[in-house]
Amino acid sequence: MRRTKEEAEQTKQDLLDAALVEFSEKGYQAARLQDIARRAGATRGAIYHHFQNKADLYQKLIESAAQQGNVAVETAVAGGGSFADICRRILVITMQMLADDHQFRQITALLLFKTGVAPELAAIEAQRLQNAEAAVQGIAAYMDYGIKEGAARSDLAPAVLARAFLALQNGLAWLWTANGEFFPLKEEADAYADILLHGILDASSSSEQP
């Protein structure tokens, strides 16, 4: 019987969901395609119909989380307001997403702790590093805008401010996921944003103070 497009898409999603569970429980390298297929109620053939291999499953999961992150940043920017308002909103929204979205949290933990070194992931890792550099450049461009507006510190290069922003954001994600979510990340997100903004904003620009 020919499967409908909707059924095929559901099978694809079931495989991605199963892969995430297997990767999370066993780590990328130890996870096996047959176990992923069995967990999804599918066959290995179904995996190869939708994905090239295990690395492709992994890549699609990482890409979905990256897209979620991009949407969160776009939402934060679209909210408008001052330079400080937008910086705060980006940090708070991304931390809230990590706290509230179980799948996003699982993929974050997979990327940080459960991937290991695998030759077949070399190209994916190279692309991830390129994306990370692009993220720094994008944030640096916004920091440069803040400097020109008189809102951000002019004694530091935009790239330095951008790396500081990412260091706090990524450091919080690492600390929280690495240690069993032991502190109330969502509830404390505003406090971390205050700390970040006090380091980024021009002290003479009182209208930008959080």
Share of the chain above pLDDT 70, in %: 95
Q: Tokens 């993220």 correspond to what residue?
A: 135
For residues 189 and 92, the answer to whether their CB atoms sit within 8 Å is yes
Q: Per-residue pLDDT tens for 173-186? A: 999 999 989 999 99
Contacts 24+ apart (CB under 8 A), 196-201: 196/87, 196/91, 196/164, 196/165, 196/168, 197/84, 197/87, 197/88, 199/164, 200/87, 200/143, 200/146, 200/152, 200/153, 200/161, 200/164, 200/165, 201/83, 201/84, 201/151, 201/152, 201/153
What is the average per-residue pLDDT within 141-153? 97
**Is the confidence at residue 140, as pLDDT, over 70?**
yes
Q: What's the whole-model pTM score? A: 0.89
Question: Which two structure tokens, joined as six digits, stand for 60?
Answer: 């699609």
pLDDT attached to residue 205:
61
> 19-65, pLDDT tens digit by residue?
999 999 999 999 999 999 999 999 999 999 999 999 999 999 999 99
Cβ atoms 179, 122 nearer than 8 A:
no
